[in-house]
Amino acid sequence: MAPDDLYVASRRALLDALETLGEQRESLVLIGAQAVYLHAPDDDLAVAPTTTDADLGLDPNLLADSPLLGERLLAADFKPTKEPGIWMSRHGATVDLIVPESLAGSGRRGARLGVHGSKAARRAAGIEGCLVDKAPMTISALDADHGARAFSLAVAGPAALIVSKTHKIADRRDEARGRLRDKDALDVYRLLRAVEPAAFSDGFERLLASDLAAESTISAVRDFEALFADPAGVGLDMTVRATETLIPEVEVRAALPLLARGLLRAAGVAA
């Protein structure tokens, strides 16, 4: 299924950011929806891939003092927004630079990154595993007009993406109901359909052995079971809404809990 215009624009924005950040790419890892789609390139789900942003996890321990993140992004025609770490591209899509909460220093929204300041990147809980379960992949354009550009970049693995998406859904469920985005649950469904259990098992083994990621992984697995393996789970309801009119509800309600229980077994949890 061909990518929609929003996805094409967000990939252009991502490539612009990777090009201008140069050697700082060593500190970055692709997370979020664009990473999900790279792990599910041949998914035959009736809902087309779409996203309006590009999420980049940032490891402060691998970040060099120079070049400055903000200076490079401004030079490539990115504009800062009112929120730290969210940069608007000339394509109308944003690039988000995100640091795990446990590595972001003091503060509430912006990550404190020494000479880079506290506005270049934002902080978020639950993405610690994306700095642990990752592997390089080639990021290329989605349209012919920009097809010449491609970069090698670390991409979060399927297990880390399940953990980060679960944290996002659980946190927003516990806050304001209106902040829940059904597409986040759909991204989980895509991964469960596309990725072999062995790949999940390897990823969870790395996450649970990591001092940085183990705690957030354990809490995510607990929330994942309630969200997706339970027939009354909020995540299951979100997925049904995201696929309505395209996939019969009875099909999603039958398939997703089975896939979710398979993931729990891969994570070492009886299901």
Instruction: Read off the pLDDT of residues 125-141 as tens digits, 9 standing for 90 and up.
Output: 999 999 999 999 999 99
Q: Is residue 15 part of a domain?
A: yes
pTM of the model: 0.95
- In terms of domains, do 108 and 121 share one? yes
Q: Is residue 23 part of a domain?
A: yes
Could you say which of 156, 177, 202 is where a domain stops?
A: 156
pLDDT per residue, tens digit, the chain (271 aa), is: 667 899 999 999 999 999 999 999 999 999 999 999 999 987 778 788 889 999 999 999 999 999 999 999 999 999 999 999 999 999 999 999 999 999 999 988 999 999 999 999 999 999 999 999 999 999 999 987 666 789 999 999 999 999 999 999 998 876 555 446 899 999 999 999 999 999 999 999 999 999 999 999 999 999 999 999 999 999 999 999 999 988 999 999 999 999 999 999 999 975 5
- C-alpha angle with apex 183: 119 to 236, nearest 5 degrees? 130
CA nearest neighbour of 111 among 163, 31, 57? 57
Q: Is residue 271 part of a domain?
A: no
The reported pLDDT for the residue numbered 174 is 61
Residue 42 CB neighbours (<10 A): 5
The reported pLDDT for the residue numbered 175 is 58
- In terms of domains, do 67 and 133 share one? yes
Q: Is residue 189 part of a domain?
A: yes
CA distance 25 to 261: 36
Q: Is residue 112 part of a domain?
A: yes
- In terms of domains, do 140 and 167 share one? no
Could you say which of 140, 156, 172 is where a domain stops?
A: 156
Could you say which of 134, 156, 178 is where a domain stops?
A: 156
- In terms of domains, do 48 and 162 share one? no
The reported pLDDT for the residue numbered 30 is 99
- In terms of domains, do 118 and 50 share one? yes
CA distance 183 to 88: 21
- In terms of domains, do 125 and 60 share one? yes
- In terms of domains, do 87 and 194 share one? no
The reported pLDDT for the residue numbered 125 is 95
The reported pLDDT for the residue numbered 23 is 97
- In terms of domains, do 24 and 130 share one? yes
Q: Is residue 26 part of a domain?
A: yes
- In terms of domains, do 163 and 150 share one? no
- In terms of domains, do 9 and 118 share one? yes
The reported pLDDT for the residue numbered 146 is 63
Q: Is residue 224 part of a domain?
A: yes
- In terms of domains, do 148 and 53 share one? yes
CA pseudo-torsion sign 73, 152, 63, 167:
positive
- In terms of domains, do 228 and 101 share one? no
Q: Is residue 138 part of a domain?
A: yes
The reported pLDDT for the residue numbered 270 is 58
Segments forming the whole domain that contains residue 141? 5-156
The reported pLDDT for the residue numbered 107 is 87
Per the structure, the count of domains in the chain is: 2
Give the H or E element holding residue 158: helix 158-174
